Chain A
Amino acid sequence: MANKSVWSDNRFWQRSATWVTGFASILLIWLTFDTSAQIAMGNDEDLKNGVTKRVPGPTVINYKITYEMDAKRGHEVPVIGGKEKFFGRDDWSEEEARALLHLGKLGSQAKNCMDCHTLLGNGAYYAPDLTKAWLDPAWGPDGAMQALTGKNTKEEAMAEFLQHPDQFPTHARMMPDLGITAEEAKGLVAFLKHMSSIDTNGFPRNFGRMQGAINGK
């Protein structure tokens, strides 16, 4: 035993494994507390006072959202601007907005959205990423989808599409009819608008660049 090395001693490695695992777990738990505080959903007061939250409150649906380059952070961030009508109103109360977002989030799970699309980049790759879908130029005033659905606003065009996706074929790969009701569609659009306001550290990069103006061209 005298000339046996510690490196071939099982007790040494067992203890090392225990300490390393314990240390990593404690660090993860500590970081989880910090992160949880930072990703908690904001509220209406924050929005009114211009307090930036990584995940804004549900009443963010009353505001215009853009995705702009932040020189200091070196990537795009969502910017919450002035009021903007959402289904004809820009005075959705905290309760109403919360209920709508709740319906939309439930709907996103009940219809298995994530098994074709990606949300925040996670999910399946059979259909476009929905992280910033609300900001997609295709649904904007000059995009194809408002004309295709015969609606005058982004939210109405999206809601109409979600209820009858099989009637608006854009590609051979079509979204199926998932039995989404008018109310559920409203909720889903609110969910998408809210998701686009989440600070995703610049993902996706250069969103919509080809459609946007670059140096006036």
Chain B
Amino acid sequence: MANNHLTSESKQLATWYFTFAAILFGAQLLFGLVAAIQYVMPGFLYGILDFSIARILHINALVVWMVFAMFGSVYWLLPDETGIETVGIKIGKLLFWIFAAAIVVVVLVYLFIQVGPADATTIWFITEGREYIEAPRWADWGIVVVALGFVANLFLTGIKGRQSGIVTVLMADMIAFAGLYLAGMFFTDNITIDQYWWWWVIHLWVEATWEVFVGAIAAYGLITMIGAHRKVVEMWLWIEVAMLFGSGILGLGHHYFWIGTPEYWWEIGALFSALEPLPLVAMFIHVLYDWGKTQGAEMADEHTDEAHVKSVITNKPAFTWFVLNAFGNFLGAGIWGFFHTLPQVNLYTHGTQFTSAHGHLAFFGAYATILVGMMYIAVQGTNGIKVMKHTKASLWGVSLITGGVVGMTVALTIAGYVQVLVSRAQMGATWAAYFDGQSGLWFAQAMDWRLIMGTVTFLGFLFLAKDLLTTGKNPVHER
């Protein structure tokens, strides 16, 4: 990077992580489009890149780009929060290249080898065949090594430097995040035990440790972008941690309704997962309240009319994505999750497009938004920009992506209704019932709309990518 304003190696490493994450984000959307086309035209790439492979790439690219952007976010904020350069940054940089190279190998094997014989070599070298964590076992160990290196960087820096509340939360959160991955690294013939531990990784990542991570990043963003009061922000952060872990850890029970586990999970899962939206409401209020409060204080100081008062936001595009996160997390994870979390409802919605609708809006709203926001913060820092403004491309990007994802979510929700009513309630969930639901007019049209809205999302991504690459040099920003 020429004309680089970065003096910290940690921040430089962060930009590498963000760059690779953005590339994988694009790959995620491309393979999602392939899978969406296959719902509409089943012959598309049949026998070449079947739905299963497109979907593996779609969801694995999703998980990995988010993990990359999360690592990047931590490397970015560490020097600001601790006041020192990240300890062991050279090893951190080496691990980045190992991680990136391993991902490329895993993707090439998914694409060109796809499946293997029913023996342990396939599990070790091709695919583990477990949704979201299909990565073969050798890559699992690689991920463990890289994650340990990352956690070591974070801990050594946190201990040596200033230890803010944000850093303390991140240290506790990231060690749990890395440790939980181990729960997904074994083979068993008992599919009930298999899925029991598989959910420890998936749920305790996505509905516990990742959410806490988002809380910490939101806190950092509010302090850096609108100058929110650290003490207030960190108090909120601790309240969020208590609420998120208090509901999310036992909310795990909502995945144990139907996999062979005992009935008491109905009550535990229903109660705690029903509480899961509460912290998301709190986060939503927290972001908007702090924004209003600092802006209000600014206006009171200026003693001028509203039209001439300066905005307190120092990074408009990033802040837009952070506010979207407050909305999206609450709607996608909170509301769309609550829709089908009670066992009486879930009995019919489990394993339908309802889950898919929730997954799309929740991953986007809770994670994609804030991580893209962090990418903008990195672009701002890398180019030495004081106040970063929106450009045409940044506005088109955020509008098309958000509109596209919301459109997909609505379409998938309708498809889910058809499945629940026709395939499940009316026909009784058999093979024939499944296809009766799938061939329904409403279902077919919903899939058409999902493809259209997916395309809109991808167009938005092109604007976003263009903006991230070019906005740093744009003269509209205050330097």
Contacts and interface: CB of A to CB of B under 8 A. Distances in A.
Interface of A: 8-10, 13-14, 16-17, 20-21, 24-25, 27-28, 31-32, 34-36, 38-41, 54-55, 58, 98, 101-116, 118-129, 131-133, 136-138, 166, 170-174, 176-179, 181, 184, 187-188, 191, 195, 198-211
Contacts of A40: 190, 193
Interface in B182-237: 187-196, 231, 234-235
Given A172-B43, A200-B259, A201-B263, A178 B115 contact: yes
Among A58, A103, A110, A113, find the residue whose CB has the most chain B CB atoms closer than 10 A: A110
A200 B115 CA distance: 29
Interface string B286-320: 00000000000000000000000000000000000
B433 interface: yes
A21 B204 CA distance: 12
B170 to A, nearest CB: 13
B322 interface: no
Contacts of A98: 189
B138 interface: no
Contacts of B160: none
Nearest to B204: A28
Interface stretch (B17-25, B128-136, B376-384): B128-136
Given A17-B242, A41-B190, A204 B252 contact: no
A172 B238 contact: no
A17 B118 contact: no
A129 B429 contact: yes
Given A10-B235, A210-B428, A20 B242 contact: yes
Interface in B233-271: 234-235, 238-239, 241-242, 245-246, 249-250, 252, 255-266, 268
B352 interface: yes
B355 interface: yes
Given A115-B52, A128-B435, A205-B348, A110 B119 contact: yes
22 contacts: A14-B168, A17-B245, A40-B193, A105-B194, A106-B122, A109-B123, A109-B130, A109-B187, A110-B119, A112-B114, A113-B129, A115-B53, A116-B52, A118-B351, A122-B255, A125-B353, A128-B431, A138-B432, A181-B117, A184-B118, A201-B266, A211-B432
B85 interface: no
A100 to B, nearest CB: 10
Contacts of B114: 112
A24 B249 contact: yes
B165 A136 contact: no
Contacts of B263: 201
Nearest to A200: B258
Contact of B260 (A55, A124, A207): A55
B278 interface: no
Nearest to B118: A107
Given A21-B241, A39-B193, A115-B56, A8 B235 contact: yes
A120 B192 contact: yes
Contacts of B350: 121, 203
Given A13-B238, A201-B263, 18 more contacts: A10-B238, A13-B239, A36-B196, A39-B193, A41-B190, A105-B194, A110-B127, A116-B55, A124-B52, A124-B55, A125-B352, A126-B38, A129-B434, A137-B432, A173-B438, A203-B347, A207-B428, A209-B428
B211 to A, nearest CB: 13
B46 A176 contact: yes
B11 interface: no
Contacts of A17: 238-239, 241-242, 245
Contacts of A122: 131, 195, 255, 259, 351
B83 interface: no
Among A112, A122, A129, A179, find the residue whose CB has the most chain B CB atoms closer than 10 A: A112
A184 B117 CA distance: 8
A25 B118 contact: no
Contacts of A27: 250
B355 A24 contact: no
Contact of B257 (A34, A181, A203): A203
Contacts of B190: 39-41, 55
B47 A14 contact: no
B95 to A, nearest CB: 28
A55 B259 CA distance: 10
B31 to A, nearest CB: 12
A120 B120 contact: no
A150 to B, nearest CB: 19
Given A125-B356, A136-B431, A201 B257 contact: yes
A206 B421 CA distance: 13
Contacts of B35: 126
A101 B188 CA distance: 11
A108 B196 CA distance: 17
Contacts of B42: 171-174
A108 B129 contact: yes
Among A14, A58, A137, A202, find the residue whose CB has the most chain B CB atoms closer than 10 A: A14
Contacts of A171: 42, 435, 438-439
Among A108, A111, A191, A198, find the residue whose CB has the most chain B CB atoms closer than 10 A: A111
A208 B428 contact: yes
B115 A111 contact: yes
Interface string B135-178: 00000000000000000000000000000010010000000000
Contacts of B351: 118, 121-123, 125, 129
A176 B259 contact: no
B39 interface: yes
Contacts of B187: 106, 109
B81 interface: no
A174 B438 CA distance: 13
B126 interface: yes
Contact of A120 (B56, B195, B432): B195
Nearest 8 pairs between A and B by C-beta? Answer: A109-B129, A107-B118, A203-B258, A13-B238, A204-B429, A121-B351, A115-B52, A209-B428
